[in-house]
Structure 1
Amino acid sequence: MNKKPIIIAHRGASGYRPEHTLAAYELAINFGADYIEPDLVSTQDGVLIARHESEISETTNVAKHTEFAQRRTTKIIDGESKTGWFTEDFTLAEIKTLRAKERIPQLRQHNTVYDDLWEIPTLQEIIDLAKNYSKKLGRKIGIYPETKHPTYFRNINLSLEEPLLTTLQANGYHEKNDPIFIQSFEVSNLQYLAQKTHLPLVQLINLTGQPYDFVISGDVRTYTDLLTKSGLEEIAKYAQAIGIHKDILIPRDHKNKLRSPTSVVANAHASNLQVHAWTFRNEDYFLPLDFQGNPQGEYELFFSLGIDGVFSDFSDTALNVRDRSQSLDIS
């Protein structure tokens, strides 16, 4: 496994800029992040764009656009009722008239000064950014795209996998060692991708629930079942890593204090799977009681488990701790 954990800029440097904007990705790259992470959804005309969800009222200024008022609607996505505006009801040209805004302004008031400044980027624009900076900086900037709600999009005839592979192939992403990981909370689309590409795949593992394609197919297995020895061996047949909720690696008690680490990292490594943990944030709201005011200490603890990467909203903090830990290890 990797000796030096990779730092994945979770939706860009989203602790400092509205998430999933080129400005957020650019800042993360300048901090030194190894990978930038776009969540991918589709427009009506089949273009992949970066948004946390296909419902965009929380992350764009669409509500201010009176010309789109009639498109506000309610849909069931992965079993949940959502009301708002949805990317699949807009062409790319229409999406490009919108501007991004801070998703959690109550915690990141400082980011709201950037509201309404930046466009919603396409996957191609994000790839162009990564490649341009790779040349400029003389180091590979990886991308770490997630297919969001793949079963939902497939069922409305906007499958994510084919345009994703087409775009990646057109941009020279072909081999298992290319600077890319493709991730999903579902299983069947990763298994499909494994038959179509050599690019590394990541099975996302949530704290509770089950993959939505399992719900649809009647498969009773949960995310917890995927972490058994046999479950991990099954994942290793189609994926190279698991992207896992950090509370599974070190659970919290009812007082928000950390308990003892689980054996998941060792078990995953035994199945030849990398372990990438999510999501690390600096605000006390997200931190366990043990590390209030000390996000660096949380990174140090998780790095000590031997994980292979972290998703972080604050990649500068993650990098500082990682590189300090690495220099201590060397000495």
Structure 2
Amino acid sequence: MLPGPVEHPLVIGHRGAPGYRPEHTEAAYRLAFALGADAVEPDLVATRDGVLVLRHENEISGTTDVASRAEFASRRTTREIDGRALTGWFTEDFTWAELSTLRATERLGGIRPQSATFDGRYPVIRFRDLLRLLDAATEESRRNIRLVAEFKHATYFASLGLPLDELFAAELAAAGWSRGDDRLISEAFEPTLLDRLRDAGIGGTRVLLLEDRGAPWDLVAADGAAARTYDAFATASGLAGLAGVVDGVSVGKARLVGGPASSTDVAGAARRVRPDAPLRGSALVDAAHAAGLVVYTWTLRPENRFLAPPFRRGAARSAWGDWLGEFTRILRTGVDGVFLDHPDLGIEARRALAEA
């Protein structure tokens, strides 16, 4: 492992650098490394033969050319994923040999036509491919580049006999990562998956992802309507209760900026709220830190389509608004890591805040 200080907050390349290249491709990850990302984040799903591949979802019609491939037309089907019926093509219906013939496409082509010009140029890659790229980039850059592995639909995959945690442990070992170390951050929307990683002795930081609404699907599957909600985890007592269970939480940026300010005003100053109310803004970050938890947030993007209303400029959804204003507002809450589609913009925001 290479020496050196850890930057704060971490600038995490969300699926590589998908603001510039189609997400989860080798090109997107290589560009994230070149732009100075402190870490990169792959989404992990499984193939029918138990290979972990990098895709936003297991339904892949929006991120590959599968819909145009006549040889796979019969694979189009409808499945229930985490309580929702989805129609398309699913990784679990393909072997790795079959998936490896597909080519990536830009998921947000209407917003990012420049990235869409790279459609069809890059293949789908595996988790093991990214580990190889990450090790090489760490050696070449002489800095520790971290990995933030996100597990998608773990309960669903386990029901198919494809336990993501076990596949993950095997991939780490095969790549020489043993059972993980401080380069590794594991995150999931399902707390029981994080429990299994802990019980398996997987090292690094374990982070619970908190959606803006709803409840974790593993808890819904076990407890039905009584399942604990994401909002319940985001209260002062909920965050305190996570101490010693996980190492951190990761929240959608609407909990920090751009959503209902139930616990903070626009400047981030704490207001008096009910003890059981979900926290927002710096109040959430402060409560998490008081419980010994790190806090990450996702996803920072410069286009008007994704910015909170006060930071939008003009009417075009694809135009860049006051991204620096929103990004620095979020950094001022004290978060420990930010996920971005354009890692260089995160580094610029971090620099601007330090110089302010």
TM-score (norm 2): 0.87
**Structure 1 runs not aligned, ≥5 long:** none
Q: Of 280, 294, 297, which residue of structure 2 is paired with 1:274?
A: 294
Task: Give the Cα separation in 2 of the matches to 1:82 and 1:251.
Answer: 29
Q: Is the 8 A contact 1:174 1:199 kept in 2?
A: no
Offset of 1:260 from its aligned partner? 5.6
Determine whether 1:159 maps to 2:163.
Answer: yes
Task: Give the Cα separation in 2 of the matches to 1:177 and 1:229.
Answer: 29
Identical positions, percent: 40
Matches within 5 A, 1:1-331: 4-174=8-178, 177-196=181-200, 197-218=202-223, 219-253=226-260, 259=266, 261=268, 262=280, 263-292=283-312, 293-326=321-354, 328=355
The residue type equivalent to 1:280 in the other structure is: L
Coordinate RMSD, CA, aligned: 1.7
Q: Is the 8 A contact 1:203 1:235 kept in 2?
A: no
Q: Tell me, what secondary structure is at the counterpart of 1:209? A: coil
Alpha carbons of structure 1 residues 214 and 7: separation in structure 2 relative to 1, 3 Å? same
Task: Give the Cα separation in 2 of the matches to 1:167 and 1:176.
Answer: 11
Alpha carbons of structure 1 residues 253 and 195: separation in structure 2 relative to 1, 3 Å? closer
Q: Is the 8 A contact 1:42 1:160 kept in 2?
A: yes
Q: Is the 8 A contact 2:64 2:105 kept in 1?
A: yes
Deviates more, 1:30-39 or 1:242-251: 242-251
Offset of 1:167 from its aligned partner? 1.4
Q: Tell me, what secondary structure is at the counterpart of 2:162? A: coil
Q: Is the 8 A contact 1:140 1:179 kept in 2?
A: yes
Task: Give the Cα separation in 2 of the matches to 1:282 and 1:93.
Answer: 36
Task: Give the Cα separation in 1 of the matches to 2:300 and 2:11.
Answer: 10
Equivalent pairs counted in the alignment come to 324
The residue type equivalent to 1:318 in the other structure is: G
Q: Is the 8 A contact 1:13 1:313 kept in 2?
A: yes
Q: Tell me, what secondary structure is at the counterpart of 2:296? A: strand
Offset of 1:141 from its aligned partner? 1.4
Show CA shifts across 1:280-308 (max 9, x none).
Answer: 00101110122122101111111111110
The residue type equivalent to 2:324 in the other structure is: Q
Deviates more, 1:311-320 or 1:230-239: 230-239
Q: Is the 8 A contact 1:276 1:307 kept in 2?
A: yes
Q: Is the 8 A contact 1:3 1:308 kept in 2?
A: no
Task: Give the Cα separation in 2 of the matches to 1:211 and 1:61.
Answer: 31
Task: Give the Cα separation in 1 of the matches to 2:35 and 2:69.
Answer: 34
Task: Give the Cα separation in 2 of the matches to 1:4 and 1:128.
Answer: 25
Task: Give the Cα separation in 2 of the matches to 1:140 and 1:130.
Answer: 9
TM-score (norm 1): 0.94
Alpha carbons of structure 1 residues 118 and 176: separation in structure 2 relative to 1, 3 Å? closer
Offset of 1:253 from its aligned partner? 4.9
Task: Give the Cα separation in 1 of the matches to 2:97 and 2:331.
Answer: 43
**Structure 2 runs not aligned, ≥5 long:** 1-5, 269-279, 313-320
Show CA shifts across 1:244-288 (max 9, x none).
Answer: 11111234259xxx8464310000000100110111001011101
Alpha carbons of structure 1 residues 149 and 206: separation in structure 2 relative to 1, 3 Å? same
